Amino acid sequence: MIQNTHGRRNGLSNPKKWTREEEDILRAYLEQEKESFTPGRAWGQLQAEGFSRTAEAIRKKVQQFRKNEDLAKTSDPKLIAKLISLVNKQPREIEEVCNLLDVSPKKARNLISVAVERGYTIRIAENGFIHPTGLQPRTSKTSISLPKVSSTLRWAVFSDLHFGSRFCLEEEVADFATYVHKEEGINLILNAGDSLDGQRVYRGHEFELKYHGFAQQSDRLLMHLPEFPDLHYAFIDGNHDASFWKLSGLEPGAETVNRAVARGRTDLTYLGPDQAQVVLGEGDQGVIVEIAHPDKAGAYAKSYHIQKYVEALQSGSEPQILFTGHEHDYLQIEVAGIFCAKCCTFQSQTPYMARKSLRPALGGLIIEIKVSDDYQIREWSCRRISYNGPKLKRHLALPVRKIVL
């Protein structure tokens, strides 16, 4: 006797809901027949298996399968990775990409849109070729709302968190963000790059990593950046973040924000690679702040790279305040009328830094300025919150090896 299940002919002849078994039979038949598939012949196949569906119902079901397959294909990370590796080798015409990936032009375009949404740096040029675009510096300023309280503006800055590194002070990052928000009433933290430790930045770098790959490192970042309703983070990418772009074409800052949004977080803003200007104030008015991650380190004078950076600024585009990351150092200095600070780090000394005789300044900064009505700076104060000290013993203590002669 035929089982009395959905879709079988003995009674429940045409239920609305397709069973898994029916769908599997239809899928297998579709796969087997490919181009010669017709709903009529599939009807016969289902009848032979003891199911009854009209040809129209089968046609609709197949349409649904194909639509789902398209959606799955255009969001398939493996297919996106294949697309990126193809176009990173050389620009390719869209038809060539369709052939190589075995997708229709429509799917290829969808795939490109999904890749761009996910932070990959490619585009379709007017001549129909798909190009890698490189990391595009942002050419506009970003306005961030930061109301004055009695002509005073306050915010915090940190840099070079290096999530993924064995030497990243994850708990201290969380502690700093919580402290400046809860105890100091700060609602904005600017970040001057190297949020992630990246991959293959220098020879032997892999041995200094605790978490490998973009997904794991950005997960650690999002896990340790505390989320408060009134606290916002705005950040650029540094050279360590950009290592993921060099390896895969993924713009890590853009994708980190995507991953935050997927978790329901809207407290992160990516400002671009290497450097960005923000206007802190209200409406179009505010103080102009530049955040930069210049790829220079180690100089006889601590102020050397900042001075050179200011010297190289395009005339007319100078900020009022400059924060630089990358050097894992602390300094505040006024250069050519610009208030400048190096933003410290939350990565304790790595073997690489020890080899280069570089000592990290651990911590972050709290900035407080008094401004005139038209946002000219009248007073500047930069306080360093330090994490050098006894708390770090857990990272730095080495076991004692005894040799008895």
Separation between Cα atoms, residue 23 and residue 17, nearest integer Å: 10
Q: Which is nearer to Fe ion, 6 or 246 (CB)?
A: 246
Q: Which is nearer to Fe ion, 194 or 274 (CB)?
A: 194
Site string for Fe ion, 153-192 (x = CB under 5 A): -------x--------------------------------
Separation between Cα atoms, residue 246 and residue 244, nearest integer Å: 5
Residue 239 near Fe ion by CB under 5 A: yes
Residue 238 near Fe ion by CB under 5 A: yes
Q: Which is nearer to Fe ion, 239 or 324 (CB)?
A: 239
Q: Which is nearer to Fe ion, 161 or 310 (CB)?
A: 161
Sole binder of Fe ion in the list 326, 331, 365, 367 (CB under 5 A): 326
* Residue 262 contacts residue 254 (beta carbons within 8 Å): no
Shortest approach of Fe ion to residue 237 CB, angstroms? Answer: 10
Separation between Cα atoms, residue 342 and residue 366, nearest integer Å: 12
Please work out the total of residues on this chain that contact Fe ion, with binding judged by CB under 5 A: 5
Shortest approach of Fe ion to residue 142 CB, angstroms? Answer: 21
Question: CB under 5 A: which stretch of 59-67, 118-126, 212-220, 238-246 binds Fe ion?
Answer: 238-246
Q: Which is nearer to Fe ion, 238 or 249 (CB)?
A: 238
Shortest approach of Fe ion to residue 238 CB, angstroms? Answer: 4
Shortest approach of Fe ion to residue 180 CB, angstroms? Answer: 20
Question: CB under 5 A: which stretch of 61-69, 74-82, 205-213, 323-331 binds Fe ion?
Answer: 323-331
Shortest approach of Fe ion to residue 194 CB, angstroms? Answer: 4
Shortest approach of Fe ion to residue 72 CB, angstroms? Answer: 38
Sole binder of Fe ion in the list 194, 241, 251, 255 (CB under 5 A): 194
Question: CB under 5 A: which stretch of 52-60, 234-242, 262-270, 333-341 binds Fe ion?
Answer: 234-242
Cβ-based neighbour number of residue 306 at 10 Å = 26
Burial class of residue 323 (count of CB atoms within 10 Å of its CB; 0-12, 13-18, 19+) = buried
Residue 148 near Fe ion by CB under 5 A: no
- CA-wise closest residue to 240 among 168, 139, 140, 323: 168
Question: CB under 5 A: which stretch of 119-127, 145-153, 235-243, 283-291 binds Fe ion?
Answer: 235-243
Shortest approach of Fe ion to residue 169 CB, angstroms? Answer: 13
Q: Which is nearer to Fe ion, 181 or 326 (CB)?
A: 326
Question: CB under 5 A: which stretch of 42-50, 164-172, 232-240, 308-316 binds Fe ion?
Answer: 232-240
Please give, one letter per residue, the 3-state secondary structure of the chain: CCCCCCCECCCCCCCCCCCHHHHHHHHHHHHHHHHHCCHHHHHHHHHHCCECCCHHHHHHHHHHHHHHHHHHHHCCHHHHHHHHHHHHHCCEEHHHHHHHHCCCHHHHHHHHHHHHHCCECEEECCCCEEEECCCCCCCCCEEEECCCECCEEEEEEECCCCECECCECHHHHHHHHHHHHHCCCCCEEEECCCCECCCCCCCCHHHHECCCCHHHHHHHHHHHCCCCCCCEEEEEECHHHHHHHHHHCECHHHHHHHHHHHCCCCCEEEEEECEEEEEEEECCEEEEEEEECCCCCCCCCCCHHHHHHHHCCCCCCCCCEEEECCCCCEEEEEECCEEEEEECECECCCHHHHHCCCCCCEEEEEEEEEECCCCCEEEEEEEEEECCCHHHHHHHCCCCCCCCC
Separation between Cα atoms, residue 200 and residue 284, nearest integer Å: 41
Shortest approach of Fe ion to residue 159 CB, angstroms? Answer: 7
Shortest approach of Fe ion to residue 293 CB, angstroms? Answer: 6
Q: Which is nearer to Fe ion, 154 or 326 (CB)?
A: 326
Site string for Fe ion, 364-403 (x = CB under 5 A): ----------------------------------------
Shortest approach of Fe ion to residue 63 CB, angstroms? Answer: 51
Question: CB under 5 A: which stretch of 70-78, 194-202, 221-229, 298-306 binds Fe ion?
Answer: 194-202
Shortest approach of Fe ion to residue 195 CB, angstroms? Answer: 9
Q: Applying CB under 5 A, which residues contact Fe ion?
A: 160, 194, 238-239, 326
